[in-house]
Chain A
Amino acid sequence: MTNEELKNFITAHTHEVTFEESQFLNAFVPSEKIHSLAKYLRENSFAGFDYLFCLSGVDWKDHFMVVYHLTSRKFRHSIVLKVKIADRNNPTVDTVCDIWKVAELMEREVYDLFGVKFNNHPDLRRLFLDDTWGFPLRKDYKDDITIVSL
């Protein structure tokens, strides 16, 4: 499907999505709708987004953003879903690891580095660091011993 068709397809399912076009089609999804939209995109036979190839977290200083890069093997189209999480003190979003199994490890990584909790995740533990570390990839992370700021 082309970008226009994808836009119409998604808006037909979830109205609150806004779009932006850059290298891929970016869809800004409210955080309570992400699970149902993701499931719909995976299971619908016209969309067929079965390959989640990147799940990243970004810290935009006043909010967090979780970015999902999806692609469909059959139809060869790609899309990027972006979820804005406004609450910096207790960021949570629904998990998608029941839809794509790779999300289990990727969400643990986002939790480890940013502190974003994923609801209903089967095993949300820190991945690389131990429990006493802060969340290093946050922009306000301070570590006087190991980080040398220029």
Chain B
Amino acid sequence: MNNKEEIEDLIDSHEEDFILNVGPQHPSTHGVLHLKIKLHGETVTDVQLHMGYIHRSIEKMCEASSYRNFIYLTSRMDYLSAHMNNQACAMAVEKGMALEIPPRAKIIRVLMSELTRIASHTLWWSSAGLDLGAVTPFFVGFRDREDILDIFEETCGARLTMNYNVPGGVMYDIHPNFQRRVKEFMKKFNKRHHEYDELLTGNVIFQGRMKGVGYLSPEDAVSNGCSGPVARGSGVSCDVRKWLPYDGYENVQFDEILETKGDCFARYQVRMKEMLQSAKIIEQLIDNIPEGDFQAKTKNVIKLPKGEFYSRVETARGELGVYIISDGSMNPYRIKFRSPNFCNLSALKHMTIGGKIGDLVAIMASLDLIIPDIDR
């Protein structure tokens, strides 16, 4: 690997500019992202981002919807943590109404969030293996994800875009089979997580591809606004569930996983251990769901008072912020979604320059980007 001065010389000189388009249709960018990389042999000297291939102007559409309806658009932003997106929007509206939701709704929301987190990390693990060339993890990971999605389908009616959270609580009560199925799944999951480690984590080739690659220092992580496993892999403590607990997370025992190395393998380890922490949270709560209402009483047409409301939620990829500006009418005046993947992406250029193309793929796998969340 070239040293820093040589890389900077290469970037400044324009000789032998070999420009390669990675994307927008590409098997390993997780969505439609267009990267123009300048190569010198196999070394990357520059990365230019071109986004917007899946820009659906969700923020503008929200201005034309009511406060109940705009939540359904947000499932499609980061579709792997759809439940948490909806939760953030519902929380923002509830802040505006100054509404307290019943404890049963809170616990159900937390259970669903943690199941979504496990499902999202399982899919991430499968595609990380696939990006690096190991095809088998894809099938192994999806086998577990199918169990979770079946549980969702029974209660919420949908597998991917659940639309289960509403301002005031959750839309329906949980299915009678829910507790039994989740407990069965938890028993299987703890054994299967061990399989994941055996298949990929301990593999020498995998570690050689991920260790020492894509270093992100803590200062750069904070300056680039990174959050979630990307920042926690560099040692930055930023879990919103711990820092600003919401919806019942203050009563649950779990650890915030921090790794200090800052390379791709550290981010990988953070996500693997987070899956186990989510399993721990679910085990604490599954037997203690309080009785009561699953939805607080709200008017049919919600009007928020004039003002601004910001809610923050920890999705599987980082901190999602929903910023609602209301002028007192039925429709929101302006909604801004602070998406975690947008800020994680701004760290990509810094991490990739100086590495090889193979490193670019490993870095994208460890950043776990969902492009519709970036483009909104």
A residues neighboring B (CB under 8 Å): 22-24, 26, 50-54, 56, 58-59, 67, 69, 73, 76, 100-102, 104-106, 109, 113, 127-129, 136-137, 150
Contacts and interface: CB of A to CB of B under 8 A. Distances in A.
Contact of A128 (B52, B321, B345, B350): B52
B224 interface: yes
A105 B95 contact: no
Which 8 pairs of residues, A with B, have the shortest CB-CB distance?
A128-B52, A102-B225, A128-B55, A56-B336, A54-B338, A101-B223, A105-B346, A101-B224
Contact of A127 (B51, B236, B309): B51
A48 to B, nearest CB: 11
B64 A150 contact: yes
Contacts of B307: 22
Which secondary structure characterizes the binding site on chain B?
mixed
A23 B52 contact: no
A52 B59 contact: no
Interface in B337-370: 338, 342-343, 345-346, 350
6 contacts: A23-B309, A23-B310, A53-B338, A69-B338, A105-B346, A109-B342
B238 interface: yes
Given A54-B336, A105-B345, A136-B60, A23 B95 contact: yes
A100 B223 contact: yes
A136 B308 CA distance: 22
B192 to A, nearest CB: 35
Contact of A22 (B243, B308, B338, B345): B308
Nearest to A58: B334
B334 A128 contact: no
Contact of B55 (A56, A105, A129, A150): A129
Most buried by A among B59, B308, B345: B308
Contacts of A113: 59
Contact of B325 (A24, A58, A100, A106): A58
A127 B309 CA distance: 26
A56 B310 CA distance: 12
Contacts of A150: 64
B225 to A, nearest CB: 3
Interface string B94-111: 010000000000000000
B17 interface: no
B222 A50 contact: yes
A23 B311 CA distance: 10
A102 B336 contact: no
A137 B222 contact: no
A54 B238 CA distance: 15
Contacts of A53: 225, 227, 319, 321, 338, 343
Contacts of B236: 73
Contacts of A105: 342-343, 345-346
B283 to A, nearest CB: 30
B308 A129 contact: no
Contacts of B173: none
Given A53-B321, A76-B243, A101 B60 contact: no
A142 to B, nearest CB: 13
Contacts of A22: 307-308
B57 interface: yes
Contacts of A76: 243
A136 B95 CA distance: 28
Interface string B209-245: 0000000000010111101000000001110000100
Contacts of B237: 73
A54 B321 contact: yes
Contact of A104 (B60, B220, B346): B346
Contacts of A73: 222, 236-238
Contacts of A24: 310
Contacts of B309: 23
A52 B338 CA distance: 11
B319 A101 contact: no
B46 interface: no
B241 to A, nearest CB: 15
B323 A56 contact: yes
A101 B52 contact: no
Given A23-B308, A127-B51, A137-B59, 19 more contacts: A22-B307, A50-B222, A53-B338, A53-B343, A54-B310, A56-B336, A58-B334, A69-B323, A73-B222, A73-B237, A102-B224, A102-B225, A102-B346, A105-B345, A105-B346, A127-B52, A136-B57, A137-B60, A150-B64
A52 B319 CA distance: 12
A36 B110 CA distance: 42
Nearest to B61: A147
B314 interface: no
